[in-house]
Amino acid sequence: MESVAGQDVRALPEGLGGAIRDTAEEIAALLRPDTDMGLRIPGAQWSVGEAAAHLALANELMADIAAGHARSYGDGTPQSLAAANERALAEFGERGAEPLAAMIVAQADACLRALEVSAAKGTVVTPLGPMSPDVLGSYLLTHMLGHGYDLARALGRAHMIDRARVELTLPFLMTAMPRVTDTARTAGLTASYAIRLWGGGRFGVTVADDAVSVGSRPPARPDCTILIEPVTFLLMALGRRGQARAIAQGRILVRGRKPWLAPRFPALFQAP
């Protein structure tokens, strides 16, 4: 641990800072001066300009939160977050490619600097509840990857999601899953899942009495084990891809005592 200007500074989890900076830069590179910012994002209500503006505002929000500033932004439900997003966009008129690209990068850097200072100081309050600074960094990365994917698709460019970055989103996703549970879908369900990403991460999910718990270790004898290609996992978790095509392409494999539980799993959660 180092000390800078009287403040303790320690490194974030290995690779997280670099992934955040690289993702912000790659998103910015999509927003060229000649980019059509009015182009609609496939399957979404936003244009490229609106999605980029949302990213710039969200990075600023997370930088403020990491720095310890109280920011109200919905109550954690998908509906309230969507409403907060629309209010923020209505109040923020910038839709130019270059200013938004610069803001996305600058605010990602500001968030990282704040996280490096606050990393030893307990929790911060986010739109999805309290989190450690490390998990907030994972949240920032996850959010940029989701909207970066949308921008890349709209502009016909390669997206920036890869296995290493997906691994770094797991701390946030595991923290968020119990908070975005669709209780109408979990009602009456008792089940244990092991989720295993090809070539890396794994975690366990237990559903019992309408409550969902998530742990870094899968259950010893899960009812259902889902083996999934990492990029497919993240896109499904963020509501960008359905499971039918992924199964048909062999990107999801299922085993265990109750394999019929697998198709129910994605619907247990509402993407924020």
Least confident of 115-119, 180-184, 189-193, 225-229: 115-119
Chain mean pLDDT for the chain = 92
257, 150: one domain: no
Tokens found for residue 58: 């969200």
pLDDT tier for residue 1 given thresholds of 50, 70 and 90: very low
Q: Residue 3 above 60 pLDDT?
A: no
Do the beta carbons of residue 116 and residue 9 sit within 8 Å?
A: yes
Percent of the chain with pLDDT over 90: 79
Q: What's the confidence (pLDDT) of residue 117? A: 84
Q: How many residues does the chain have?
A: 272
Q: What's the confidence (pLDDT) of residue 221? A: 94
Which residue, 81, 53, 66, is CA-closest to 16? 66
Average pLDDT over residues 147-167: 97
222, 168: one domain: no
Q: Give strand ranges (E) for 51-160.
A: 124-126, 129-131
Which residue, 228, 259, 80, 82, is CA-closest to 166? 228
Please state, in angstroms and rounded to a whole number, the distance separating the CA atoms of residues 86 and 152: 22
Average pLDDT over residues 114-131: 83
Q: What's the confidence (pLDDT) of residue 43? A: 87
**Domain CATH number, residue 209:** 3.30.1050.10
Question: What pTM was estimated for this model as a whole?
Answer: 0.94
Name the domain boundary from 172, 194, 219.
172
Q: Residue 4 above 90 pLDDT?
A: no
Non-local (6+) Cβ contacts of 105 within 8 A are: 24, 25, 28
Which residue, 238, 230, 234, 233, is CA-closest to 271? 238
61, 38: one domain: yes
Q: Residue 199 above 60 pLDDT?
A: yes
Q: What's the confidence (pLDDT) of residue 123? A: 87
159, 74: one domain: yes
Domain extent, residue 40, equals 2-172
134, 230: one domain: no
Q: Which of the 8 DSSP states describes residue 39? A: P
130 pairs with which residues across the strands? Answer: 125
Do the beta carbons of residue 172 and residue 208 sit within 8 Å?
A: no
Q: What is the largest CA-CA distance in the chain?
A: 57
Average pLDDT over residues 170-187: 93
201, 227: one domain: yes
Report CA 192 to chain centroid distance, whole Å.
Answer: 23
Q: What's the confidence (pLDDT) of residue 209? A: 75
Do the beta carbons of residue 199 and residue 167 sit within 8 Å?
A: no
Name the domain boundary from 116, 145, 172.
172
pLDDT in tens, 55-110: 999 999 999 999 988 888 888 788 899 999 999 999 999 999 999 999 999 999 99
Q: What's the confidence (pLDDT) of residue 96? A: 97
Q: What's the confidence (pLDDT) of residue 9? A: 59
Non-local (6+) Cβ contacts of 76 within 8 A are: 127, 128, 129, 179, 272
Q: What's the confidence (pLDDT) of residue 270? A: 87
**Total number of domains in the chain:** 2
Q: What's the confidence (pLDDT) of residue 240? A: 94
Please state, in angstroms and rounded to a whole number, the distance separating the CA atoms of residues 261 and 256: 10
Q: Residue 11 above 80 pLDDT?
A: no
